[in-house]
Structure 1
Amino acid sequence: MASERARGLTRRPETLIAGGLALAAALAFLIAKLGSEIAEGETLAFDRGALLWVRQHLGGLPALRAIMLDATALGDRATLTLVVLVVGGYLAVVRSGRLAAFLIVQAAVGTSLASLVKPWFGRVRPDVVPHWTEVASASFPSGHAANSAVVYLSIAMIAARAAPSRPGRAYLMATASLLVILIGFSRIYLGVHYPTDVLAGWAIGGAWALLCGALGSALVGRRRT
């Protein structure tokens, strides 16, 4: 019994890495597929129609507009940097220096991915509705959607490892996911991204977070064995 348990623990890191790689590959395929469809103009009707629907049905609510502006600020690079540094500092204080360094490095790399991909597609920002916030770079993929997924999902995974129960872990992951969804939707609501931009951003950020989460869990598993 003990030997079987030990063998299971030994295999678990490799299983986590393989699972993370498989999910990341699937999301990478989704990004490439979306890019191809966008280049051919296949998604334009859907994208424009969705933006118009959101603005026509939800744009006249001043309170919602204020909420969306606050939500989109949670995905700004400055805010995400501060969050990573605060969490990384906490991990260092509680003597999890390696985990703190891992979080900071993987967040720094992950939040650069969308910026590296944007020039490949060079998609122009939507002109369907007036923009309600300032933008400068290309549209595809959404940096706010990608970067918020990288940071908030990664932190939730780290916190979930310390959660004492499955409901606690589920709550952490669900809360982080809802926050990422809210930030992505805010970009559509504010008229600065097409829905497919946001979807691709979620795919990039989610793939990176899952891959790094699997790698981090595998490293922790190896140290324990």
Structure 2
Amino acid sequence: MAPHRRLTLEDDVLVWLHDDAPAAQVVSDLTELEPLAAVAIVVLVVLLGLRRWRDAIFFTAGVGVVWAVNPLLKELVGRSRPDLWPLPADVSEYSFPSGHAANTAALVGALVLLVRRLPIVLLGAAVLLCVGWSQLALGRHYPTDVLAGWIWALAWVGLVRNVTKGGPG
């Protein structure tokens, strides 16, 4: 932490949640883009195998655009990461919006809209909360980074669903 820097409310939240527990790191590792991409490929293969073309287009556009655009948003906003604890060297320079939050929200949101079953909604919500907690507990993002990632990804996925829905997929 920079000397004599006054802590903000967001810093206070990070201090309260800070935890170097292995569970936070495991959740963070599992929600890197590569593991999420493996899940997305399986979903896309299933949709294509079922000849659900419109759903496949929705899924690809909903998830793919978020994954492609989020790094550009980080560069555009240019918000530095929290500096309360040392961060790993492989963590990108900017934090807003959280890539883990946005990428996971896009995937979960698309799955929820495809399946439309309460257990998937509940599981998805739990996954998103775990991802948000992991990024805050590890000190890699401010709460507003995570919230912005969720909001923009879910809004985009919802918009794409409205554009691509129609008759049978």
- Which residue matches 2:66? 110
Name the CA distance, whole Å, in 1 between partners of 2:88 and 2:14.
13
In structure 2, what is the equivalent of residue 121 of structure 1?
A: 77
The reply to whether residue 173 of structure 1 matches residue 121 of structure 2 is yes
Deviations 1:29-86 (A, max 9, x none): xxxxxxxxxxxxxxx611111111112xxx26xxxx2221121123211112111110
RMSD, aligned CA: 2.1
2:103 matched to 1:147? yes
The amino acid that maps onto 1:187 is Q
TM-score (norm: length of structure 2) = 0.86
Q: What secondary structure is seen at the aligned counterpart in 1 of 2:133?
A: helix
Q: Using the alignment, how far apart are the partners of 2:82 and 2:156 within structure 1?
A: 26
* 1:214 Cα deviation from its structure 2 partner: 2.8
Q: 1:79 & 1:67 partners in 2: Cα distance?
A: 16
Partner of 1:219 in structure 2? 166
Count of residues paired in the alignment: 163
Percent identity between the two aligned chains: 31
1:78-105 per-position Cα deviation (integer Å, ceiling 9, x unaligned)? 1121111100101111222332233123
CA distance in 2, matches of 1:51, 1:132: 17
Pick one of 72, 97, 102 that aligns with 2:53. 97
Amino acid corresponding to residue 193 of structure 1 in structure 2: H
Structure with a larger share of its residues in helix? 1
Q: What's the counterpart of residue 137 of structure 1? A: 93
- In the other structure, the counterpart of 1:39 is none
After superposition, the Cα gap between the structure-2 partners of 1:83 and 1:133, relative to the gap in structure 1 and judged at 3 Å, is farther
1-structure distance, mates of 2:149, 2:50: 33
Cα shift at 1:133: 7.9
Which is worse superposed, 191-200 or 68-77?
A: 68-77
CA contact 2:27–2:131 (8 Å) conserved in 1: yes
Structure 2: how far apart are the matches of 1:98 and 1:210? 14
| CA–CA distance in structure 2, aligned partners of residues 148 and 121 of structure 1 | 20
Map of 1:35 onto structure 2:
none
Structure 1 residue 212, shift from structure 2 partner: 2.2
Unaligned runs of 5+ in 1: 1-43, 161-168
Residue 66 of structure 2 aligns with an amino acid whose one-letter code is: G
Q: Is the 8 A contact 1:145 1:183 kept in 2?
A: yes
> Is this contact kept in 2: 1:88–1:101, CA < 8 A?
no
Q: Which position in structure 2 is the counterpart of 1:81?
A: 37
Of residues 151, 157, 164, the one that matches 1:203 is 151
- Decide which of 131, 138, 160 is 1:183's aligned counterpart: 131
Whose Rg is larger? 1
